Structure 1
């Protein structure tokens, strides 16, 4: 999941849950739509919408659309779209494809990831030809990581390792529960579980209410420009 900020910082922006090998859940996912405010320095600069929908046959589509609405993010017309298609395999999600597109008035970026589970192979193409490497069971992508982490917390995990397909390899992203905090966001006040990423020296905190939502109610990260996301609404069909 990618967050919007000034053009020079765009490359570093994954909603940094960008995060047991495969996450396990006892039942299939439930469709939802969640909206967020994106803030920088305490000022709102954009909005993001997450959407999960079934495509049938134990396949799902998880998307994140972000749009700059104020400041430089609006001035440069920043927008990004991430779409993951995944299969629900024996109580766990496994990415089948991931597409990322970012547009500004100055440049465009893209990434296409495809996982061939029969060949156990990952292909990542950013427009200059594919990079190919071996997959691992339970592999997901950076866009799906926030959802994966939420389901792991729902199942009572205190530490979580997620195998994430990045540009040229599988990155085992590690997280731990660091405590509980009272969190106030536009969607309400919550007693939330705070989780930290432990395999990176960049500041990262996310707050979840795992028995209520599979995605964070708040997220704060230093990478990409000291950004904060706050949940505005969460809807199920």
Structure 2
């Protein structure tokens, strides 16, 4: 979903979000989730999000579809012995009123920083385990392979009543170093790294988009 983590100029303002490369102890767990996304100036959308275990590691994938509009993003990664996320492959694409674009990043391009989908899992693990408590900066590659950076800080725990149920969430604020008027507020579920309970995007103090978990299936 949404140049992105904080510039919601693309179809999925959520998908362009974030990153992380530090080690974390909380292991990934498979899940199948559905979100409802509201973006100012766009029709509402439902987003599918799956994290699956594969033969060589993990695969995180998001997709959405509306009349005349569709988008998807997928990242594969593995965990090394220290628990660090290493991206293996990335692919994304969208179709907007007949205009189609697709992007790929192979393993060689992902040696230094993770792709967005793999970085989502890495960032949430880093936040959940509290491996950074101040001046937290993370890096990732966008869909074209360009390095991006963001800062984040922990805001504490909140109890959320969502369409998918009642959850205790870890709240994290994400900003771009050069865009202080833009910020994202994520609510993570500590037991399922990579899952989004809620995401709100703010610009100039006004909320411009909001994503909410509406369904969750996990072992």
Name the TM-score, length of structure 1 as normaliser.
0.73
Residue aligned with 2:117, SS: coil
Q: Deviations over 1:170-198 (max 9, x none)?
A: 22322111233343321123342221113
Q: Deviations over 1:23-49 (max 9, x none)?
A: 323364222111111123599711111
**Contact 1:14-1:143 at 8 Å conserved across structures:** no
Root-mean-square deviation over aligned CA pairs:
2.9
Q: Deviations over 1:82-116 (max 9, x none)?
A: 11111222212111111011012241122111232
Structure possessing the higher radius of gyration over alpha carbons: 1
Q: Deviations over 1:36-74 (max 9, x none)?
A: 1112359971111111112213x2211111123xxxxx4
Query: Does residue 1:163 correspond to 2:155, yes or no?
Result: no
Q: How does 1:143-162 map to 2 (within 5 A)?
A: 143-157=117-131, 158-159=133-134, 160-162=136-138
Residue aligned with 1:143, SS: helix
Q: Look up the match of 1:216.
A: 196
Q: How does 1:160-199 map to 2 (within 5 A)?
A: 160-166=136-142, 167=144, 169-199=146-176
Give distance in 2, aligned partners of 1:54 and 1:114: 19
Residue aligned with 1:174, SS: strand
**Structure 1 108/43 Cα, relative in aligned 2: closer, same or farther at 3 Å?**
closer
Query: Does residue 1:103 correspond to 2:95, yes or no?
Result: yes
Give distance in 2, aligned partners of 1:163 and 1:227: 23
**Structure 1 142/214 Cα, relative in aligned 2: closer, same or farther at 3 Å?**
closer
Q: Look up the match of 1:127.
A: none
**Structure 1 37/173 Cα, relative in aligned 2: closer, same or farther at 3 Å?**
same
Total equivalences in the alignment? 204
Consecutive unaligned residues of structure 1, counting only runs of 5 or more, are 69-73, 117-121, 124-134
Give distance in 2, aligned partners of 1:42 and 1:219: 17
Residue aligned with 2:107, SS: strand
Q: Look up the match of 1:203.
A: 183
Name the TM-score, length of structure 2 as normaliser.
0.79
Consecutive unaligned residues of structure 2, counting only runs of 5 or more, are 3-7
The Cα of 1:222 is off from its aligned counterpart by 4.0
Which residue of 52, 58, 61 corresponds with 1:60? Answer: 58
**Contact 1:146-1:216 at 8 Å conserved across structures:** no
Give distance in 2, aligned partners of 1:43 and 1:184: 25
